[in-house]
Amino acid sequence: MHMKESLKVAAIQMVTGISLSENLETAGRLIDLAASDGARLIALPEYFCLLGQNETDKLKIAETPGDGPIQKFLSDKSRQHGIWLSGGSIPLVSPVQDKVLNTQLVFNPEGEQIARYDKIHLFSFSRGAENYDESRGIVAGASIQRVDTPIADIGLSICYDLRFPELYRALGQVDLILVPSAFTYTTGQAHWEVLLRARAIENQCYVLAPAQGGVHANGRKTWGHSMLIDPWGEVISVLDEQEGVVSGTIDPIRLSEVRQALPALKHRVL
């Protein structure tokens, strides 16, 4: 456990649309709100910058690492407020033609990018009129990523990763797991909260899950329910739908209490 003192964190919930500039404006406004309320670590949802009309829309705004308006926005916002900022996911150019990487970037209070995670599990779901297949436009990442900062040790994941507990085990012991997401309404209603709480309970850490929540301009409907969960699996704060901010405090004393009372992490055999 790296945490030395309690830390106010916030998850941004959005209903991202088809205009990059409007989405960045909304994200900026909500970051400002969370920062003004004292949050020192703020996390944006998956696809915060664009949920386009077509799969190919991501290609039009894909950036090269370290360059582009989305990355500049994230760098500027983290530096402006002196916060740790997770850009839920943005499209980065990939080596495969007509496909992008779905990438989470973390910036420090100086506006420097300190971590990058390319989503490794690609979502697909088909039932009736609902049909999704991320592999049509996205290349899977190849490795897990954690970032140990002066304020907390953080495990990175994105959306569909939530269904793969072995990813979180492989990250090792962390203080906080980030799960920026755009869960569909159907799968979110069924599984979102129970999976998030399970990840918090089994890894005995906090989980901060910023989500997309509402009916989007492209017709997609997402579940929302961004939340912060403590190491005992208790939901500290949640927002059902629409844009807004979910915030709360993560506390090293609470982490220690849970791990000492029930030392499951030390009891692992496999």
Q: What is the DSSP string of 200-232?
A: HHHHTSEEEE-BBEEE-TTS-EEE--EEEE-TT
The structural domains of the chain, with segments of one domain joined by +, span 7-266
Provide the CB-side half-sphere exposure for 117 (13 A, CA).
28
User: What integer pLDDT is reported at residue 182 of this predicted model?
Assistant: 96
Reduced to 3 states (helix: H, G, I; strand: E, B; else coil), residue 161 is helix
**pTM for the full model?**
0.96
DSSP H or E segment with residue 34: helix 20-36
103 forms bridges with which residues in the sheet? Answer: 90, 118
- 46, 134, 241, 243: the catalytic one is 46
User: What integer pLDDT is reported at residue 1 of this predicted model?
Assistant: 66
User: What integer pLDDT is reported at residue 227 of this predicted model?
Assistant: 98
In the residue annotation, 205 being an active-site residue is answered as no
Superfamily, domain 7-266: Carbon-nitrogen hydrolase (3.60.110.10)
In the residue annotation, 221 being an active-site residue is answered as no
Place of tokens 């799960």: 179
- 58, 77, 99, 119: the catalytic one is 119
User: What integer pLDDT is reported at residue 82 of this predicted model?
Assistant: 98
- 114-126: b or e for each residue (b if 16 or more CB lie within 10 Å)? ebbbbbbbbbeee
User: What are the pLDDT tens digits along the chain (270 aa)?
Assistant: 679 899 999 999 999 999 999 999 999 999 999 999 999 999 999 999 999 998 889 999 999 999 999 999 999 999 999 999 999 999 999 999 999 999 999 999 999 999 999 999 998 777 777 677 888 999 999 999 999 999 999 999 999 999 999 999 999 999 999 999 999 999 999 999 999 999 999 999 999 999 999 999 999 999 999 999 999 999 999 999 999 999 999 999 999 999 999 999 999 998
Strands 226-229 and 176-178: unpaired
In the residue annotation, 22 being an active-site residue is answered as no
Q: Is the separation of the CB atoms in 112 and 75 below 8 Å?
A: yes
Q: Is the separation of the CB atoms in 8 and 38 below 8 Å?
A: yes
Provide the CB-side half-sphere exposure for 20 (13 A, CA).
14
Closest CA to 230 of 214, 216, 249, 245: 249
- 49, 58, 159, 241: the catalytic one is 159
Reduced to 3 states (helix: H, G, I; strand: E, B; else coil), residue 102 is strand
User: What integer pLDDT is reported at residue 55 of this predicted model?
Assistant: 80
Contacts of 42 (CB under 8 A, 6+ apart): 9, 10, 11, 12, 31, 34, 35, 83, 84, 85, 86
